[in-house]
Structures are given as structure tokens and as C-alpha cells.
Structure 1
Amino acid sequence: MNFVDKFDENLNLYKINRKSKKWWHRIFFYFLDAAVVNAFVLYKELHSPKISMKEFRRSLSQGLVADLVIKNKRKAYSCGETVAKKQFKPFIPLEIRHNQSSHQPERDSRRRCAKCSTSKQQVRTNWICSVCRVPLYLGANKTCF
């Protein structure tokens, strides 16, 4: 029963038609479409310059993401700059850090080794440093302690 009334007609003009196996996704997109159609009806009643539904949707989406675009432009880097990833580095006082005897391996949950894991090759380990709480690989042929 499409195009039963004006609301249904406007709803189906530029529908966010997303197929999903999750039922609540479909309901969410239906309510999002309904909110846009209702906003369009209110806009037409309150403002004199009449615009199409397509132009209204375009200006609405641009208005919603305008702040994000401005924030991202401020964070933009030049082509020559390389941005290093921030890595978690726990703070340990120097007297504890240089005391070799206090750093002992202990078992913990399985995590990526902080020393030998890369983004392409993940090395998983059950061992962490008892002082630093950093996961480090401990094996028969190789050790990161």
C-alpha cells in the first residue's frame, strides 16, 4: 500500500532503503525517514522559499555534518608530515624501572606482545611484567623480557 497519502508519498520519494537482517535497523531507518518528512512539512509551512524534498534532505545532511568537516579540516596535516600513532606507555618511576630483579613474568589474559607485535603480525602471549603490567612474549626460542 504505497502512496496512500501525502506522508507515504513523501516518505517513499528519497527513502533510506537499507537491507538488514536486524529488525531494529529497519525500524530505526523508517523513523529517521519519518522524522525528515515531518521536518520537511514543518519547514514548508514556516518558510516562504519553497524547496524540493531532495534539496531539503541535502541541506539537512550538510547542516548535520558541517561541524565535523570544520573540525577535521583543523586537524588536517600537510602531505609531508607523518603522524605517529599514540601508544600506551605506562609511567614507572626510574628506580623501579631500572631494578631488574623486580620485573618478573606472571600469567594474565591473552594479549598482544608490546615489543614484537606489529599491525601485520600479531604475537599473542599470556605473560605480563609484574611491575609494568605490559604484555611480553615468553617462549622457548624467543623472549621479550
Structure 2
Amino acid sequence: MLEEPNSIPLIEALKDQGIYGTGTCRANRLKGADHKLKSEKQLKELGRGACSVVSNNANITVTRWLDSSVIHMVSSCAGQSPEDVANRWVKKEKRMMMVQKPFSVALYNQHMGGVDLVDQCLAMYPHRRRNKRWYIRVFFHFLDVTIVNAWRLYQMFGLEKMRLLLFKASVARALINSGTLQQCKRGRPSGTPQPMKRRAVSKVAREVRFATEYHWPQLIEVKNANRCHDVACTRKTKYICMQCCVPLCPGCFTNFHTA
């Protein structure tokens, strides 16, 4: 399902990629199809629920439907038939009436709940930093959409309940703690580049520590061994966890990543 801004070229481009879409469209984005449809005056003469449909050579359907106002639907997979009915309140007559509803509108309303939920979650904690560069705003918008989708998947897998704000904070901590840092030395640079070393952190984020992948021991070249981060262990080791970046004895991996 597509929200504004939607257009016929967008629906055609998605169809060429094998993606079928249905969405509302503004009257000034119909690419001349509005001249082939019945006018708003003609629809009002027919009454509420009247509609007019036109298709182009690419089988893209444009539907103009009269509800409380005129609505334009553009679709590559739905048109007028099969029609559905909807209950509408008539304010002047103070009664309910049955209104004919095109299939494209019914399909749009049926699958629109997910998009509405995403928009609601995005509006709860939006990115507040203003920027005149449009691509920066687009980047942070898609970043927020990605986090909201990840939060929904996190809930669908039956994991512990977590508010969206706490989930965003945990993702930020995990990204910060999983960064890399290159050691810088004074003097002339050597001919061979220095290898990248992962930054060791004293406290591992829960999202990184209890992840189910990439927890492998790695022997590092250090002069002095470091204390193992497992609570039940008091030894020192030269091994670290490649995912958590903390010193761990090879035998303490299971207890540290499951306790």
C-alpha cells in the first residue's frame, strides 16, 4: 500500500520490478487521466458512492470515487470490480446508508493498517535535528523506519517486551559498543599500515552480549593478560570475544553469553 506522494509513474516503475501497488493520488499527479474521468460535478449528480474508472496501456487503473469527498486511487492490481459496500453516516438525514465502494478502495483500506502503525511509531520519537540538506533528512527518516521495523520484528519473535524508546536506546548503545578504533602513533608513518584493533569496552550491551552469532575466541598479542569478564572466573587471559570485545577465557564463553 502506498501513501502520498503517489503517482502513475511510480506505480508503473514498481510494476516493472514485479511489485504491485495500490494507493491514493492527488488530482495533479494523474498525468492526464483526470480529463478522461467523470468530473466531480457528474459524480455528485449520481450520488454518494459513484465512481469512474480509466486504464492506460500498461494496465494501470485510476479510480475516482465520491465518498464524503472525491478520492483518487491508482493501482496496478485492482479496479472497480468486485464492488463492496460500506456504511456511511448521513449528517443531514441523521441515518446510516449503504454506499458502493470500488475494489481498489476496499483493498487499500484492508492493508493500510501496517502503514498507519509505522507512521504512528515514527511520530512518537522523530528525529528532531533540523538540516537544510534534503538527503540528510531522507537518511534519518529511513533510519527511523528501519528501527521501527526492527522493533516490530523483535516483538513478533516473542522476546521480552520493550518500549520503542528503550529499544532505540539499546540499538544506539549496541552500535556504539561495536565500533572500531585505530591506534595512532606519533612520528613518521611506517611503510606497512597498522592493523585495525577492536576497541575493548568494560561493559557489554545486552543486545551484543546475548546475540546468538559471532561469539568466537581470538588470541590477541598483548604483553599483560587481562582479567576475564565472567563473574564466576578470577583468572587472567589473552583471549577476547570477537563480538563483545572483552577478555574471556575460552571455557567461560558459554556462561558469559547465557547467564
TM-score by length of 2: 0.26
TM-score by length of 1: 0.45
The structure in which a higher percent of residues are helix is 1
The structure in which a higher percent of residues are strand is 2
